[in-house]
Amino acid sequence: MSSSGLGGLNKSPQGIVVGLVQLQNPDVSTPAELAAQTQRIVDMVGKARRNNPAMDLVVFPEYALHGLSMKTDDAIMCTLDGPEVAAFKAACIEHRIWGCFSIMERNPRGNPYNSGLIIDDRGEIQLYYRKLHPWVPVEPWEPGNIGVPVCIGPKGAKIALIICHDGMFPEMAREAAYKGAEVILRTAGYTAPIRHAWKITNQSNAFQNLAQTASVCLCGTDGSFDSMGEGMFCDFDGTVMVEGSHRPDEIITCEMRPDLVREARVHWGVENNIYQFGHRGYVAVKGGASDCPYTFMQDMVRGEYRPPWEDEVVVKDGQPCGFPAPERRYEG
């Protein structure tokens, strides 16, 4: 089984060193504050490089740029070709490091998207993702519509990004793994009441998919909201390799071993769940059963997902959190 390599200080030939930034929770309301926070993230990219010369990828939490206010003011929304993303690209080039960043992305057709980017050390966007599951009823973001992409990262590692609430749905990590992801990043702005669920889902997402997970929240308070930090790296057997604290701006590091993930996915017999899920009972029947016995999946494909208690659900929109009931239908 792999280890953290003393937080990546002892880097193996096949390993990639990942740094998780427990970024101080910002309060951003104006274009000037957005520009200042952009510079702060750029400065932290430099700190990450100085922190560990072997670091391959530095990961910033969800809301690193915009904070937890949930403001949808167009004046502080971002675009892929805007100055904030340009600054992130330049920082990755300058410090010769890959970076994972969070933006609230302008959407001319509706509410903004909660988007994530992985930028390589040449300043090129290698992964672009829109959060599929905004944290309802708290978040106003448009539901993502570009699936769960996977990119080839440092040393050929296959990397996916899911954002915060996404990680509470086992189907999200499974989709990432099914598309080849060996390392699943999860960025978040979670607050302390979610602490237990955060830990167990990071572990279960790893074990259920024979993947390694690297997850990090914002940290500290903005004067109104407290986020919890608690970056953590999990191995593909579900064990925690490295766990962070509640200290804002701490960068926790770990060596990830996608080569051992590949080895396990090929050679494990017992608990090779990502393979066995689609090959039920292969001891009894040749190749296993590959049908879909899950009613919820079949109903969702037909657009008819409906739990038995559907009519009794109390919270079905954002009104309890001060958002007006939407009138516009999802277009996909």
**Confidence at residue 4, expressed as pLDDT on a 0 to 100 scale:** 72
User: Mean pLDDT across the stretch 15-24?
Assistant: 97
User: Mean pLDDT across the stretch 151-157?
Assistant: 97
Question: How far out from the chain centre does Cα 98 lie?
Answer: 15
- Convert the pLDDT of each residue in 201-260 to its tens digit: 999 999 999 999 999 999 999 999 889 999 999 999 999 999 998 999 999 999 999 999
Q: Which residue bears the tokens 């992801």?
A: 181
Residue 7 has pLDDT above 90, yes or no: no
Q: 67 near 219, Cβ under 8 Å? A: no
The CATH code that applies to domain 5-276 is: 3.60.110.10
Q: Dig out the tokens for 183 from the structure.
A: 């390392």
Residue 177 has pLDDT above 50, yes or no: yes
**Confidence at residue 3, expressed as pLDDT on a 0 to 100 scale:** 65
Q: What is the CA radius of gyration of the chain?
A: 20
Can you give the pTM of this predicted structure? 0.96
Which residues are designated catalytic? 62, 131, 164
User: Mean pLDDT across the stretch 191-206?
Assistant: 95
- Tell me how far CA of residue 233 lies from CA of 3, 37, 97, 268, in angstroms: 10, 26, 19, 21
Q: Dig out the tokens for 57 from the structure.
A: 């990828």
99 Cβ contact list (under 8 Å, min separation 6): 45, 57, 58, 59, 60, 88, 91, 92, 118, 119
Residue 1 has pLDDT above 70, yes or no: no
- Convert the pLDDT of each residue in 88-141 to its tens digit: 999 999 999 999 999 999 999 999 999 999 999 999 999 999 999 999 999 999
Tell me how far apart the terminal alpha carbons of the chain are, to the nearest angstrom.
41
Q: Dig out the tokens for 11 from the structure.
A: 């880097």
Residue 2 has pLDDT above 50, yes or no: no
**Confidence at residue 151, expressed as pLDDT on a 0 to 100 scale:** 98
Q: What percent of the chain is helix, strand and coil (3-state, nearest 5)?
A: 30, 25, 45
* Strands 183-188, 212-217: pairing kind: parallel
* Strands 226-228, 219-221: pairing kind: antiparallel
Q: How many CB atoms lie within 10 A of CB 293?
A: 8
**Confidence at residue 117, expressed as pLDDT on a 0 to 100 scale:** 98
Residue 263, helix vs strand vs coil: helix
- Convert the pLDDT of each residue in 42-52 to its tens digit: 999 999 999 99
Q: From CA 140, how far away is CA 250, in angstroms rounded?
A: 29
The residues spanned by each domain of the chain are: 5-276
When the pLDDT of each residue in the chain is averaged and rounded to a whole number, the result is 96
Residue 254, helix vs strand vs coil: strand
Q: From CA 104, how far away is CA 69, in angstroms rounded?
A: 12
Q: Dig out the tokens for 73 from the structure.
A: 């003011």
